[in-house]
Amino acid sequence: MIAIVDYNTGNLRSVINAVRRAGAEYVVTADRGVIESADRVLLPGVGEASSAMANLRATGLDEVIPRLTVPVLGICIGMQLMCAGSEEGNVRTLGIFPTEVRRFVADHTAGIKVPHMGWNTITELNSPLFRGLDNGAWVYYVHSFAPDLCDCTIAHTEYGRTFSGALGRDNFFGTQFHPEKSGTVGEQIIRNFMTL
């Protein structure tokens, strides 16, 4: 059973639909006991980092999530909260991945707009999360902040700078892009997560 963490951020409905399409059993919850007993945990989210982190702290999930030993997948802000800190709200986050989340710098002469919104590629794929995918697969992004490259980077994306399109460490994984909005590529990533 997959626990989809509900911590008052947006985007639950599309994640639920993606998990349902993949045929997985799931529960939407903020209950730490349910989360601790799940086979897998999804940490989705759309929103602002400091308020999202405050929501995790208010429920005690900031202590629960880093201790999980089952596969955990953070999506978008969910992955950013798994990093060491974010420029968005100047907040220290869960510290699972040793990297900082920084804002994009707009450069209209180079076509770099903020937010980065639309389709882009992931390259240098290095994780079972991407089993069956080709290097350069297209995924869907909507974000103004992104994590820097680090030893835990398992996919690269280029947009004004090269950033971590995905991160992985032990049982923890994260995607800056939205697999639930990334068509067949995203469906494959969700299915791969279910078999980790």
* Catalytic annotation present for 178: yes
76, 116, 143, 152: which is the annotated catalytic residue? 76
Contact criterion met (CB below 8 Å) for 50 and 20: no
Contact criterion met (CB below 8 Å) for 116 and 157: no
116, 143, 156, 178: which is the annotated catalytic residue? 178
Scanning the chain, the segments in alpha helix (DSSP H) are: 12-21, 32-37, 49-59, 61-64, 77-81, 183-194
83, 143, 152, 180: which is the annotated catalytic residue? 180
**Angle (CA) 10 158 186, round 5°:** 45
37: helix, strand or coil: helix
Residues forming the active site: 76, 178, 180
